[in-house]
Structure 1
Amino acid sequence: MGAVRKFFDFLYVLAGVLAALCLIAILSLIVAQMIARWTGEIFPGAPNYAGYAMAAASFLAFANALKRGAHIRVSILLNAVPPGPKRLLEIWCFALAAAIAWYFTYYAYWFVYWSWKFKEVSQGQDAIHLWIPQSVMVLGGGLMAIALTDNLIQVVIKGEHRIVRDLVDQSHGE
């Protein structure tokens, strides 16, 4: 089980790194488009590529953010109940969230499949095949579903989730 745990943790961190690279790509695209405007050149598709990178950054960051405790999680009720009901509430929350994430991933896959099958292209000047940026949505949604299922299994078996709160990232208002 230790090898599987390390593999999942590696996947979550890798997805977070890829999300950070997407943010750098957004910055680079914006700067390149600004330079192109200043020099009188045209950078076709730059806004579209920045949008694709923004969506990729969002979806790829989901699993890593969950692992690090960066998602908004209302824990007032969970902190107020005794350990027994708290465990049941956490099981219910993770089960519901995992079911929704798997449902989303399933239909996102078919969305990408039909975009690929019908050879859909973007409306911009670049006319990129839409299944390429859409496939990151499936990847990120799948990683989020795996992370939620991972936490659900941990709560069921061990009684506690694997969300690690990063105190440096937390606000002082909590």
Structure 2
Amino acid sequence: MRRLLDAVYDGCAALAALAMVGLLVAILASVAGRQFGFNLTGLDGYAGYLLAASGFLSLAHTLKRGEHIRVTLLLQAVGPRWRRGLEVWTLLAGVLLAGLFAWYSVRLAWQSHEFNDVSTGSDATPLWLPQLSMALGAVVLLIALLDDFVLELRGQRVQISSEEALHNE
């Protein structure tokens, strides 16, 4: 099960990286269009969709690598027993919030599909297509938070601290 979950997190990170490359291509094409006098309609909208996709699809992978911003000042000030209680509480709150976010993201994409909602641009992109990346990212983040919550309850969660956060220059 661990390998499957890690593969899901890594797969979403790979999709986020592809979206980031697509964003770069869209921006470069837009810049080239301004320089050489041609216009690719809808390109700004697609760049926005790709930016959102890269952000949402990378959430779970970032969480599992310990790269999310954490306020550790309080955790360092309390003992191990309180620290574990705070970790369980924050993970539970994260699971609940991510659950709501995942539910409403999936619901939004589903309703956009049902109502045939399209973008207001001249390309008239069906909005459920770019909304899928947000829904998928939110669902996988929920799974990652549930994973961490269960590991914390079992006492098997490994705290990964970002090396960059430890450098005080």
Partner of residue 160 from structure 2, selected from 160, 164, 168: 164
- Per the alignment, residue 6 of structure 1 pairs with 3
Deviations 1:101-136 (A, max 9, x none): 011111111111111111000011111000000011
- Per the alignment, residue 92 of structure 2 pairs with 95
- Per the alignment, residue 111 of structure 1 pairs with 108
Q: In the aligned structure 1, how far is the partner of 2:62 from the partner of 2:79? A: 27
- Unpaired segments ≥5 residues, structure 1: none
Q: Is the 8 A contact 1:68 1:163 kept in 2?
A: no
Q: Is the 8 A contact 1:19 1:61 kept in 2?
A: yes
Identity over aligned pairs, percent: 37
Alpha carbon RMSD of aligned pairs, Å?
Answer: 1.5
Q: In the aligned structure 2, how far is the partner of 1:54 from the partner of 1:121? A: 19
- Per the alignment, residue 154 of structure 1 pairs with 151
- Unpaired segments ≥5 residues, structure 2: none
- Per the alignment, residue 36 of structure 2 pairs with 39
Q: CA deviation at 1:58?
A: 0.6
- Per the alignment, residue 134 of structure 1 pairs with 131
Deviations 1:53-105 (A, max 9, x none): 00001101100111111111111111221111111111100000011001111
Q: In the aligned structure 1, how far is the partner of 2:16 from the partner of 2:113? A: 24
1:170 aligns to what SS in structure 2? helix
Q: Does 1:75 align with 2:72?
A: yes
Which segment drifts farther, 121-130 or 78-87? 78-87
TM-score (normalised: structure 2): 0.94
Q: Is the 8 A contact 1:121 1:127 kept in 2?
A: yes
